[in-house]
Homo-oligomer: A and B are copies of this chain.
Amino acid sequence: MQVLEAATGHEGLSLAASHKPDMIILDIGLPDMSGFELLPKLREWYSRPIIVLTVHDQEEEKVKALDLGADDYLTKPFGVPELMARIRASLRRSQSEVSSEPVFTIGDFQFDRSAHIVRVKGQEVHLTSTEYNLLAVLVKHSGKVVTHRMLLNEVWGPNSIEHVQYLRVYMGQIRKKLKQGDSLKEIISTEPGVGYRLLTD
C-alpha cells in the first residue's frame, strides 16, 4: 500500500481531492478544524471508506461520526493489528461493492470496462469519452444514488462541482443513445435534488 499523510484538515482535504486515495483514516482531533466539519466536506464527493480515530470513547462522538458518513471507528489507544484489521475489513467491503467484473450487465445493457465499449442487445453504442466516464461512475455505484457533486467531481474534477447542467445534458445524451434500438427500459433514474442512479432491476 502507498500512504499519504496530511498534518491539517485543509491539507488533507486537498490531498484527498488530488490523489483520490482508496481509503482515508481521519483523526477527529485536527489542529485547524474539527474532524466533524471535515467529514461531511469529504463525503460530498468521496465515497470510499473513511475510518475515524478519536481519543474519547464517547458514545455520542461515535454515533455522530457514523452519521456524518464514517465507515468505521477506532478509539485511541489501539494496537496496530487492530487498525490493520479494520483497514482490511473496510477495503474488502468497498471492493465487493464495486464488483470488479470486467463486463457489467443489466438486462440488455452491457458495460465492458476491458474493451471500453458499451453494448445494448449485443450491438455497440458509441459514447463519447465524457459520456462513457459519466456512465462508468454510475456503474461503479450501481443501484446506489450518486450525488450531483460526486458525479461532477469524478468526471469533471473538483472545480466543476457546481455545473449541474452538464449532468442534465449528458444524461440526456446517454439516455438517448441507450434508447436506440427498441423498447429498452430506462436504466438511469433521476433522484430530484440529489443525483442519479443506475437501476439494477
- In this assembly, does A34 line the interface, its C-beta being within 8 Å of a C-beta of chain B? no
Residues of A41-77 whose CB lies within 8 A of B: 47-48, 58-60, 62-63, 66-67
Tell me the complex Cα distance, A63–B144, Å: 15
Q: Which one of B48, B63, B98, B117 contacts A145 once the chains associate, using CB atoms below 8 Å? A: B117
- In this assembly, does A191 line the interface, its C-beta being within 8 Å of a C-beta of chain B? yes
Q: A104-118: contact bitstring with B at CB < 8 Å (1 yes, 0 no)?
A: 000000000011110
- Closest Cβ of chain B to A200, distance in Å, is 10
- In this assembly, does A15 line the interface, its C-beta being within 8 Å of a C-beta of chain B? no
Q: Are B63 and A100 in contact (CB under 8 A)?
A: yes
Q: Are B129 and A97 in contact (CB under 8 A)?
A: no
- In this assembly, does A194 line the interface, its C-beta being within 8 Å of a C-beta of chain B? yes
Q: Are B129 and A194 in contact (CB under 8 A)?
A: yes
Q: Are A143 and B116 in contact (CB under 8 A)?
A: no
Which residues from chain B contact A86 at a C-beta distance below 8 Å?
A: none
Which residues from chain B contact A66 at a C-beta distance below 8 Å?
A: 100
Which partner residue on chain B sits nearest A136 by CB separation?
B67
Q: Mind listing 15 A-B residue pairs with CB under 8 Å? A: A47-B58, A47-B59, A62-B98, A63-B97, A63-B100, A67-B100, A67-B140, A115-B143, A115-B145, A116-B145, A116-B194, A128-B192, A129-B191, A129-B192, A129-B194
